[in-house]
Amino acid sequence: MNQVKKINAPIAETKDYPMEIHGDQRNDLYYWMRLSDEQKNAETPDEHTKKVVQYLEAENEYKEKSLSEVKEFRNELFEEIKGRIKPDDSSVPYFKNGYFYLTEFEKGKEYPIYRRKKGSLDANAELLIDVNTLAEGKSYYNIGALKVSPDNQWLAYAEDTVSRRVYSIKFKNIATGEILGYEIPGAATSIEWSNDSKSIVYVLKDEQTLLPFQVKKHTLKQPKKDVTIYTEKDNTFYTYVYKTTSKKHIIIALSQTVSNEYLILDANAPAEPKMFLPRERNHEHSLDHFGNEFYVKTNHNATNFKLITCPDNEPFTKDNWVDKVPHRKDVLFEGFDLFDKHLITEERIKGITNLRVMKHDGSDDHYIDFAEEAYLAYSSTNADPSLPYLRVGFTSMTVPNTIYDYDFETKKLTVKKQQEVVGGYDASLYESKRFYATSRDGVEIPISLVYKKDTPPSVNTPLLQYAYGSYGSSMDPYFSSVRLSLLNRGVAFAIAHIRGGMEMGKHWYEDGKMLKKMNTFNDFIDCSSFLIDQKMTSSDNLFAMGGSAGGLLMGVIMNERPDLYKGVIAAVPFVDVLTTMLDESIPLTTGEFDEWGNPKEKEYYNYMKTYSPYDNIKKQDYPATLITTGFHDSQVQYWEPAKWVAKLRTHKTDKNPLLLHTEMSAGHGGASGRFEKYKEVALEYAFILDLAGKIEK
C-alpha cells in the first residue's frame, strides 16, 4: 500500500452543525452527509444527494487506487474463497406436514432454489421458488421468509429488493405456479398462516423508524381488506409473530431488551388476542405450547433463566407455574425444543452450549457427548415433534459444520452431512486452543484460537483478533472455510469472548452494557495485551476486526490503544453513538435504550461521551484502517462510518492507510447472492495480508 502516500485522499467539506444538551455543546462538522430515504431513492437526485454520493464514490475510488497493487490478488483470493464452496450443493431435507423440504444451489447461480418432496425422499421434487429467477435484473434481492400453508397449497414469501430490511409479501399457488397480482408492502419477515389456510397474520413496519409495530390479518385474494389485530404503541418494543409447536396458537410477541409480552391468538380463527402475562420491567421470557401446557423460559427469580410449565387454561398467573428445569447459578438456560416424548434443552456450561435430552415421563435425562473441548452445538431444523430423532448441528474451529440425527432410543449420532471444503480439508493440519486472559478488574476472559500447525503462534505471527460483545450475543468457536485463506498463509485467528456477550452466563451480558459498557472495550484490549505478552503475536503483527456493534468496539480500541494494532477492520460500524441515540427518528434507536442507555438522561449522556468513537477522535497515530458500509443500511446508517472517516483524516498524525468502502447497492448485511458477498471478504483479507507482508508482488 505504498501508493497511499502518493494519492490524495478525499477531504470532506465541513459545515457547522451545533448541538447542545445537558449544558454540553458539540459541533458536528460532517452532519451534512446525512440523507433521508426519500433522497436516496429519488429517481432524480437533488444537489445535496449528488454531493453526498460524489463524496462516497470519491472514497471508493481512493480505496481502489490505494489497493491497486493488490487488485489482482483480491480477484485471486475471491476465486480461492469461492472455489472452496461446493457450487452445486443442497441442504439436508427436513420433514414437515407430509413433505421433505430442501434447499439447492446450482452451479453458476447466486441464489437458492427451494423444493419439496411429498412423503418420501424418492418422490419427484416439486419447485417452491427459484430465487435466481426472482432476482434477475436486480442489484439486490433477498427472501426474508417462506411460509407454506397448512393445506400445502400456497406459499407466502417476503422479498426485499433494496437491502433496507423492509419487505413485500407475495403469494404463490404452488401447484399452478401462479403468483397473485398484488402484494403487501412495508412488512417485516414475520408471517404465519391460519390453520384453515385462508389467511395469514403478518407484521407491518413503521415507515420512518422501520420498527415492526402492527399485526394484521390478510385473507387470501382479498387485497386492501386487511384487519388490524394489534398495534404496539411503545416504540421501544419489537413486534413479531410465530406459531406454537402444538399449532394451536399464533403468538404475538412483543420484545424489548429487558422485558417481553405475549398475546395469544387461536390459530384456527385468529381474531381477538388474549394476554398471557402483562409486560413487566426486567422480566424476560419466551413462550411455547405443547399438549395442554405452556412452556416458559423465564428469568423470574432466575438470573440465568429456568424452564417452567403452566396449564393452558386461564388465568396464566405465576401462581400456576411449576419448575420443569430449575435455575442453576453456573448454567445459562438458553432454549428448548418440544417433542412428543422428549424435551430438548440448550444449556451453556463454562461457555460451551450443551444439548440435554429428557423424557417427559422422567425415565431418561442425559447430555449428548460430542467429545470436544470447545465447540458449537445447536438444535437444527426440527419441524415435526413426532419424529424419533433430533436434528443437531455441530462445529468447532477445526471441524466443518456437521448435521447429525440423534436417535432418542439408541443415543447414537448419525452424520447426515458435513460441510464439504472443495479441494480437500485435513483437520489434523490445524490446531485449536482455549486460553483465558485476566482483565484489568481480575475477570478471566476466554479466548478461542486457531492456527495451522506448521506456523505456530510466535512474536512474528500475524494474528487477527475478532469480537462482537453486545446484545448478549455469544460468539462461539466455529469453523470457516473462508478463514482458511488466512490460516494457510500463516495468519492465526482468535475470538475474544468479551463481556457484553453471554458466553459465561447472563451476568456476562449485564457486565458489558449500559453503565458497564467500558468492560467490553477493556476486555478486548486486555485480550490483545495477553496475546502479545504470551508471545503469540506482537503489536507489529496484531490485527483487530469487528462489525456493527463490534465496529463500535473497533472505534473505541483505536482511540484508546492504537499502539497495540497493526491494522483494524471495522465493518458497518456503529460509531456515532451520541447523535444516533439522541435521534428517535432513526431506525432502531428507541429499541436500543436498554442496551446503551438513553442519552437524554444526563448520566447516560456523560458515560456514552466517554467512549463514543466519533466524539473521542484524537490527534494521534492510528493503525491502518479499513471501514466498510452499505448505502442502504437501516441498522447502522452509512453516514456514521462516512463521518468517522472524514474526521479521522483531519486528526490522525500517521501515514497509515485509512480506507472507506461503501457498497452503494447494499445494506447492513452487504451484497446479496451466495458468492458476491465474498468480494468484500477478499477485500478485507487482502488488506490484512498486504499489511502482514504475506502477498507476493
pLDDT tens across 93-116, in order? 999 999 999 999 999 898 999 999
- What secondary structure letter does DSSP report for 374? S
> What mean pLDDT, rounded, does the chain reach?
94
Residues paired with residue 342 on neighbouring β-strands, in sequence order: 359
* 496, 545 Cβ separation under 8 angstroms: no
Using CA atoms of 59, 61, 67, 72 in order, give the dihedral in degrees to the nearest 10.
140
CB proximity list for 84: less than 8 A, separation 6 or greater: 421, 422, 423, 481, 482, 484
CB proximity list for 66: less than 8 A, separation 6 or greater: 1, 3, 4, 7, 657, 659
pLDDT tens across 370-402, in order? 888 789 999 999 999 999 999 999 999 999 999
686: its cell numbers: 487482502
Strand segments, DSSP code E, in 372-454 are 376-379, 389-395, 402-407, 413-418, 430-438, 444-452
CB proximity list for 222: less than 8 A, separation 6 or greater: none
How far CA 26 is from CA of 18, 108, 616, in Å, comes to: 6, 52, 12
pLDDT tens across 667-690, in order? 555 555 678 889 999 999 999 999
Task: Write down the residue that cell numbers 444516533 correspond to.
Answer: 580
Q: What residue type is 180 in one-letter code?
A: L
State how far the Cα of 464 lies from the Cα of 541, in Å rounded to an integer. Answer: 9
Q: Please state, for a pLDDT cut of 90, what percent of the chain lies above it.
A: 89
pLDDT the model gives residue 275: 95
From 164, 157, 209, select the one nearest 183 (Cα to Cα): 157
From 681, 642, 693, select the one nearest 34 (Cα to Cα): 642
pLDDT tens across 251-263, in order? 999 999 899 999 9
State how far the Cα of 473 lies from the Cα of 455, in Å rounded to an integer. Answer: 31
From 521, 618, 519, 614, select the one nearest 575 (Cα to Cα): 614
Confidence bin at 278 (pLDDT 50/70/90): very high
Give the number of other Cβ atoms within 10 Å of residue 654's Cβ. 12
State how far the Cα of 432 lies from the Cα of 393, in Å rounded to an integer. Answer: 19
Q: Which secondary-structure segment (H or E) carries 243?
A: strand 238-243
Using CB atoms within 10 Å of the CB of residue 495, give its burial: 0 to 12 exposed, 13 to 18 middle, 19+ buried: buried
pLDDT tens across 577-596, in order? 999 999 988 877 888 899 99
626: its cell numbers: 479499513
Q: Please state, for a pLDDT cut of 70, what percent of the chain lies above it.
A: 98
Domains of the chain: 1-85+559-691 (3.40.50.1820), 425-538 (3.40.50.1820)
Strand order in the sheet with 199-205: 142-148, 154-160, 167-173, 184-193, 199-205, 212-219, 227-231
DSSP string, 95-151: EETTEEEEEEE-TT-SS-EEEEEESSTTSPEEEEEEHHHHHTT-S--EEEEEEE-TT
Residue 571 has pLDDT above 50, yes or no: yes
Mean pLDDT of 283-307: 96
pLDDT tens across 213-264, in order? 999 999 999 998 999 999 999 988 999 999 999 999 999 999 998 999 999 9
Residue 295 has pLDDT above 60, yes or no: yes
| Three-point CA angle 281, 283, 288, nearest 5° | 135
Q: Which secondary-structure segment (H or E) carries 250?
A: strand 249-256
Task: Write down the residue that cell numbers 482468535 correspond to.
Answer: 494
From 335, 153, 147, select the one nearest 242 (Cα to Cα): 147
* 639, 443 Cβ separation under 8 angstroms: no
How many residues in total does the chain contain? Answer: 697
Higher pLDDT, 423 or 634: 423
Mean pLDDT of 130-157: 95
Confidence bin at 4 (pLDDT 50/70/90): very low
Residue 2 has pLDDT above 50, yes or no: no
From 470, 656, 476, 644, select the one nearest 547 (Cα to Cα): 470
State how far the Cα of 553 lies from the Cα of 556, in Å rounded to an integer. Answer: 5
pLDDT the model gives residue 476: 93
From 98, 217, 219, select the one nearest 151 (Cα to Cα): 98
Task: Write down the residue that cell numbers 437524554 correspond to.
Answer: 600
State how far the Cα of 143 lies from the Cα of 618, in Å rounded to an integer. Answer: 43
Mean pLDDT of 544-569: 97
Catalytic residues: 548, 633, 668
